[in-house]
């Protein structure tokens, strides 16, 4: 008999866990024998002491097998997905799912909620009134038939161990572990029956693992662990030293994603570049085009001719959202009652941004959770966020705070202001797409 406390003690004492120990612990998480306090202690021990490649693969497999696995053998196209390691302002999934479907892929995207200071795709989608992210295999099949893409949460029978571990990690500062991130992401993808996966691995101050070397190792671990489990995977390292796009916060990001689908020419260039790079990689990985460059071209034309927007509208309808959302998003998405600027204390060029602090500011406004199950205010967040290299005069806004009231807004403004460092020189950032990691 393997007891959870023995598994925790072994990891606390820096020992490698046997396959049996990991399997038993995760089975206990899945069936409720392991309590939340034990999950938290286990997660903290893994954050502090790490896991080797074999342990990470075992954890991934055990979590994927904690529920059922979906199969899509009857679909007339490749089953493709993209997942991000988490960022601030990262609304790419909302655009990309529809874009890949418009290019001939089927996308059963099982997404997550906010984790730590990062936002969650499900929370963004739930800013759409009436839209449901709850779906079992049969409901997902229906949505895929209608739209070619579905963005849903892992239901109670899909990698249920991840559901519990994720919720505990979110509120115990235990999200920043390579092994836990790999197992969390890949277990959901394996359970969802995905055949081809493109990973967006974030690097920079807003990433779960900010350091470039750690992000590179994470990308490699994702690609290798996925390949071992029979999942074709490529990773793209992308910049998270600034908010992706101009907004952070659930309804604001959903509106920005819809605007990108409607009018790609007006899309913030870094957001467009990351979306197209991931689309190109995914379409090539799935064999729908010869190479990533051809994939980017195909994705660009699906954005420009409105096919991607049309897929998004179909998906929203199939998931219970309103019919006119894409044409008139402002009619349906919640707007915050108070909007105030964050004036720059001095003039200069934006030299650096503490993106994690901006993510924390969104949570403090009510746009994320401090405890599992906390309600989210979809309307709050940050808009028109300044970018690195932007020249700002004294008093000009660094961002606008969207808040539930004046007091809330006033409380958050100084935190947002402190997140920006202004300098004298124009800075050229590393670019939105840093490199691709293949198997
Ligand atoms: N996304 C997930 O699903 N899990 C993580 O741990 C990080 C990002």
Could you tell which of 43, 59, 85 is best to mutate to test the pocket of ligand 1, judged by most ligand atoms within 8 Å of the CB?
A: 85
Query: Any catalytic annotation for residue 189?
Result: yes
C-alpha of residue 218 to centroid of ligand 1, in Å: 12
Residue whose CA is closest, atom 3 of ligand 1? Answer: 185
User: For position 428, what pLDDT does the model report?
Assistant: 66
Residue whose CA is closest, atom 8 of ligand 1? Answer: 85
C-alpha of residue 86 to centroid of ligand 1, in Å: 7
Give the closest residue to 77 by CA, choosing from 219, 282, 228, 215.
Answer: 282
- Pairing verdict, β 80-84 and 196-203: parallel
Q: Taking the CA atoms of the chain, what radius of gyration do you get in angstroms? A: 21
In ligand 1, which atom is closest to the CA atom of 184? Answer: 4
**Exposed/middle/buried for residue 157 (C-beta within 10 Å: 0-12, 13-18, 19+):** middle
Strands (E), 105-228: 107-111, 149-153, 196-203
Query: Any catalytic annotation for residue 291?
Result: no
Query: Any catalytic annotation for residue 301?
Result: no
Question: CB under 6 Å to ligand 1: residues?
Answer: 85-86, 112, 115, 180-181, 184-185
Asked if residues 201 and 226 have their Cβ atoms less than 8 Å apart, the reply is: no
Give the DSSP H or E segment for 181.
Answer: helix 178-191
pLDDT tens digits for the chain (439 residues)? 899 999 999 999 999 999 999 999 999 999 999 999 999 999 999 999 999 999 999 999 999 999 999 999 999 999 999 999 999 999 999 999 999 999 999 999 999 999 999 999 999 999 999 999 999 999 999 999 999 999 999 988 899 999 999 999 989 999 999 999 999 999 999 999 999 999 999 999 999 999 999 999 999 999 999 999 999 999 999 999 999 999 999 999 999 999 999 999 999 999 999 999 999 999 999 999 999 999 999 999 999 999 999 999 999 999 999 999 999 999 999 999 999 999 999 999 999 999 999 999 999 999 999 988 899 999 999 999 999 999 999 999 999 999 999 999 999 999 999 999 999 876 666 789 999 999 7
Catalytic residue among 60, 84, 177, 275: 84
Asked if residues 110 and 152 have their Cβ atoms less than 8 Å apart, the reply is: yes
Residue whose CA is closest, atom 1 of ligand 1? Answer: 85
Query: Any catalytic annotation for residue 83?
Result: yes
Query: Any catalytic annotation for residue 121?
Result: yes
In ligand 1, which atom is closest to the CA atom of 85? Answer: 8
C-alpha of residue 85 to centroid of ligand 1, in Å: 5
Catalytic residue among 121, 174, 238, 275: 121
Instruction: Report H helices in 192-237.
Output: 212-228
pTM score, two decimals?
0.94
In ligand 1, which atom is closest to the CA atom of 83? Answer: 1
Give the closest residue to 221 by CA, choosing from 55, 88, 7, 81.
Answer: 55
Phi-psi region of 196 (alpha: psi -120 to 50; beta: other; left: phi over 0): beta
Query: Any catalytic annotation for residue 188?
Result: yes
In ligand 1, which atom is closest to the CA atom of 175? Answer: 6
The angle, 0 to 180 degrees and rounded to 10, between the axes of the packed helices 406-418 and 355-362 is 170
C-alpha of residue 60 to centroid of ligand 1, in Å: 12
User: For position 367, what pLDDT does the model report?
Assistant: 97
Query: Any catalytic annotation for residue 11?
Result: no
């Amino acid at each position: 008999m393997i007891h959870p406390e023995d598994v925790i003690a072994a990891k606390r004492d820096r020992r490698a866990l046997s396959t049996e120990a990991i399997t038993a612990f995760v089975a206990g998480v899945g069936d409720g024998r392991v309590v939340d306090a034990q999950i938290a202690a286990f997660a903290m021990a893994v954050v502090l002491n790490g896991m080797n490649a074999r342990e990470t693969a075992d954890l991934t497999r055990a979590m994927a097998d904690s529920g059922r696995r979906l199969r899509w053998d009857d679909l007339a196209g490749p089953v493709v997905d993209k997942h991000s390691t988490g960022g601030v302002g990262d609304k790419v999934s909302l655009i990309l799912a529809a874009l890949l479907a418009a290019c001939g892929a089927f996308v059963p995207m099982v997404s997550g909620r906010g984790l730590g200071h990062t936002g969650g795709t499900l929370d963004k989608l739930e800013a759409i009134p009436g839209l449901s992210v709850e779906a079992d295999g049969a409901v997902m099949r229906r949505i895929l038939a209608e739209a070619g893409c579905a963005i849903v949460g892992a239901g109670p029978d899909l990698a249920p161990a991840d559901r519990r571990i994720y919720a505990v990690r979110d509120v115990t500062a235990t999200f920043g572990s390579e092994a836990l991130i790999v197992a969390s992401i890949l277990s959901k993808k394996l359970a969802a029956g995905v055949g081809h996966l493109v990973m967006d691995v974030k690097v920079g101050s807003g990433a779960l693992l900010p350091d470039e070397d750690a992000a590179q190792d994470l990308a490699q671990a994702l690609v290798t662990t996925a390949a071992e489990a029979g999942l074709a995977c490529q990773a793209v390292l992308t910049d998270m030293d600034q908010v992706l796009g101009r907004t952070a916060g659930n309804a604001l990001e959903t509106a920005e994603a819809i605007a990108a689908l409607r009018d790609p020419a007006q899309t913030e260039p870094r957001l467009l570049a990351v979306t197209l790079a991931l689309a190109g990689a995914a379409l090539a990985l799935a064999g729908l085009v010869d190479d990533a460059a051809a994939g980017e071209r195909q994705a660009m034309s699906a954005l420009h001719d409105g096919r991607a927007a049309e897929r998004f509208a179909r998906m929203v309808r199939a998931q219970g959202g309103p019919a006119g959302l894409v044409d008139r998003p402002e009619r349906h998405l919640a707007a915050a009652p108070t909007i105030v600027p964050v004036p720059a204390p001095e003039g200069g060029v934006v030299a650096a941004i503490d993106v994690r602090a901006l993510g924390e500011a969104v949570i403090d406004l009510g746009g994320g959770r401090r405890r599992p199950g906390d309600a989210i205010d979809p309307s709050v967040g940050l808009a028109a966020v300044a970018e690195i290299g932007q020249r700002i005069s004294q008093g000009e806004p660094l961002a606008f705070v969207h808040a539930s009231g004046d007091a809330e807004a006033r409380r958050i403004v100084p935190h947002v202001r402190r997140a920006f460092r202004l300098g004298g020189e124009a800075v050229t950032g590393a670019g939105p797409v840093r490199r691709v990691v293949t198997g």
